[in-house]
Structure 1
């Protein structure tokens, strides 16, 4: 990888991480205020429609964005064709959901859902207008622009949502937060990107992209349904308040567990696609990816599991303490999340979307069996089923991706085992320290975080875990790149 590509990758990773922090960090902060102003029941109502919006958005994308990112030479006709297809699908889906709102509300025996579904589903059309704009920026590895766009839109929509919640709008503050945020993002993407679709629909282009994307669409649909399947199960079998506790636990687990892997994956997918013919180089880069990602992921999720009680009390208040056991178990699920995405990423890079789909079917069959077995133990049992499924899914994903780049499960475990053991020790130390710390939640959380960070970094340094130095090198490489560009800009007038 030449200097230019390295520099672009380092810069992309940093801005992708910044974008993810902004994308979920601002809503996280906004969510703290909203959680204190709203009731678990309000989040339960939103949780009931989450699967509908998620599935619809998955259908709109149809895997075409991944196909466009993977394709080396994308034409204006390619972009325009997929743009019009996405828009058409979004309009059809919105009409179907609008007409089915009464049926959905009857399923939950919750008449309040009808207007909520019909209004919040507008986000489907809004998002369809931004997919190509985002894809273009991702291909350019331009996450700085996306980060700034998300910062502006999330801040404005969040302030409006807090104002609405404070004035008693309840669940509608969450509905309008979603709509306004996505509308502003789409508007700003169009203003910044300046891409305009041509009046053309190329069936040849559509067919060529469909070959790769159709399998990703099917696998994405299956995954999206199962990622959100607990909302209708809990909403139907338990109370709307119980669903509210679970919805918030999932929301904040996803924000924190996806933060690292999604930031790195967004950048590395287009970069790895450029070297997909070289299996040796693919393996080398994937090893680095596994080691670096898990160096960050293990301590983050184990640390969150241990400090969950004071964290939830301080951020959300006493009324959300029932979410804690759900959140802690979900942190165990989140530990392995990056390993799933990294291994599946390889299958997409090498063009095996057919295998990608087949694996999703295998994993979801086993997940269905686990849900049936553990349902009798309530919500906790359902989350335990997720934990077991996460472990089984990792074994399956790593087996098949490992076959193609000769990077198998045993070697992957060997690469991340040292930081897992250190992270586990850190979690034990933090837990033991919590037993002797004062009962004041503010003091307890502060001390636990400080103890955990110092212990983890110190042991990693003593154990000579090189990922610590690698991350510092990425940061300094980014600073070097900034300095290089600055000097180049200063010298350009004299040239």
Structure 2
């Protein structure tokens, strides 16, 4: 199969999975946000920060390393799976015990039983890492995305059912556990990996150099991406964290709409071309061009439609999320552009540069978050994060363009001129649009129609019809 056909197949199934999952997540969030309070969401958001940390520890960069190393035999992958079995129990028990220090840090005993329950989530997550990577390695994108859809349906059924029964934040917790359990059972059934406690360190040494840099990047990036939630939960309130977390999660949806259907496909396919930097660079430019063309005008739309989006999706009790989402919407364009850089570094086997970008990004993000916390509002934190993301965009692309590709910023900036013009046209439209006084639903319908029409007009003005035809055609 040639590279274009592989990308078409991968993106088709990735789109099927991501769009289905996004729809499920939006519906799930809309329902639960009307049953549970911002305070209950905030409590779970605190524990999820630590859950993400332990999932990162469990991963240790093993998944991407299995995909990248074509020389790994079936027996070596089996031995790595055996290692993760022992590791899952160890890390899961440690997470269960973490409930005590978490309770002390936040002065709330509720985190002890929550941590015990989520320890099982850590175990199942660790167990499905190798089966998942094995399926990704053989580029079976259909199976991967069927699994994601099934796991999110399981999560939705359990979460909504328990919420209606009055289980409070435990509905979110057991929903998470059911998702991880489903993924483990499904992925395991699609591979011939066996439960075996015979462990050899030889295959682990084989992938160590790649997985080490990948893990260190994930470790550093964790603090970059989660310190805001840790500190807001500590120094503000659970409700403030609930409002902030809702706006931040909503700002990630645009990535799920487009960039996240492309980026999971890049490394499994492009790992075959790790020495052909021109090929990797060409793919990066094509992906960036598509993401920029949609991302710039979309950021503008979400900024102006923020109030109607929040109140329509989640209800009036989430009014406290509107301003922070409005601010974070500005960064959506930058987030979409940066979403593929990690996979590009991996494809060129340059996890050393990926690690370096992670270190620099983390220093900036942590500084920005601390300044936002000191200023005293979740909106201040959101604004500082937008500034940090913007600076990080230049850092990541310096490492890509100058250090990896031996080029400069000029070709990249040329790609961004027309998308930025599209964004400016959208700004002009929404500034002259009269204030709408209908229901939130009808306001969104009117603004969405206007957005699409102005977007198509902008495409004609910037003469990007060929790009859009290419996207639709492929």
Instruction: Map 1:339-350 to 2 at 5 A.
Output: 339-350=337-348
- Listed as ranges, the matches of 1:12-411 within 5 Å are 12-196=10-194, 200-378=198-376, 379-403=378-402, 404-411=404-411
Deviation string for 1:361-415 (max 9, x for gaps)? 2222233333333332222222222111111111111011112224533321210
Q: 1:192 to 1:427 in 2, by over 3 A?
A: farther
CA–CA distance in structure 1, aligned partners of residues 431 and 124 of structure 2: 45
Contact kept in structure 2, 1:297 and 1:335, CA below 8 Å: yes
Q: Which ranges of structure 1 fall in alignment gaps of 5 or more residues?
A: 475-495
1:24–1:86 CA distance, 2 compared to 1 (3 A) = farther
Q: In the TM superposition, what is the alpha-carbon distance from 1:130 to its structure 2 partner? A: 1.0
3-state DSSP of counterpart to 1:72: coil
Shift in alpha-carbon separation, 1:137–1:423, aligned structure 2, 3 A: farther
Measured in 2, the distance between the counterparts of 1:62 and 1:259 equals 28
Work out whether residues 22 and 147 of structure 1, in 8 Å CA contact, stay in contact via their aligned partners in 2: no
Q: Assess if the C-alpha contact under 8 Å between 1:219 and 1:361 holds in 2.
A: yes
Distance 1:349 1:137, change over 3 A: same
CA shift in 2, pair 1:389/1:31, >3 Å: same
Q: 1:424 — aligned with what?
A: 424
Partner of 2:462: 463
Structure 1 Cα separation of the partners of residues 87 and 73 of structure 2 = 22
Separation in 2, partners of 1:143, 1:438? 45
Change (3 A) 1:165 1:431: farther
Q: How many residues are aligned here?
A: 471
Q: Deviations over 1:198-220 (max 9, x none)?
A: 66533222112011111110110
Give ranges in structure 2 of 5+ residues lacking alignment. none
Q: 1:428 to 1:134 in 2, by over 3 A?
A: farther
Cα RMSD (Å): 1.9
Give the TM-score, by structure 2 length: 0.94
CA contact (8 A) 1:260 1:297 kept: no
Deviates more, 1:63-72 or 1:274-283: 274-283
Aligned to 1:412: 412
Change (3 A) 1:358 1:167: same
1:126·1:183 contact (CA, 8 Å) conserved in 2?
Answer: yes
Whether contact under 8 Å (2:224, 2:361) holds in the other structure is no
Q: Deviations over 1:87-106 (max 9, x none)?
A: 33332222222223122111
C-alpha displacement at 1:139, in angstroms? 1.9
* 2-structure distance, mates of 1:368, 1:102: 25
TM-score by length of 1: 0.90
Following superposition, the deviation at residue 194 of structure 1 comes to: 4.3
- Select between 268-277 and 359-368 the one with higher mean Cα deviation: 359-368
CA contact (8 A) 2:88 2:122 kept: yes
CA–CA distance in structure 2, aligned partners of residues 198 and 407 of structure 1 = 48
How far residue 85 of structure 1 moved from its aligned partner, in angstroms, is: 2.6
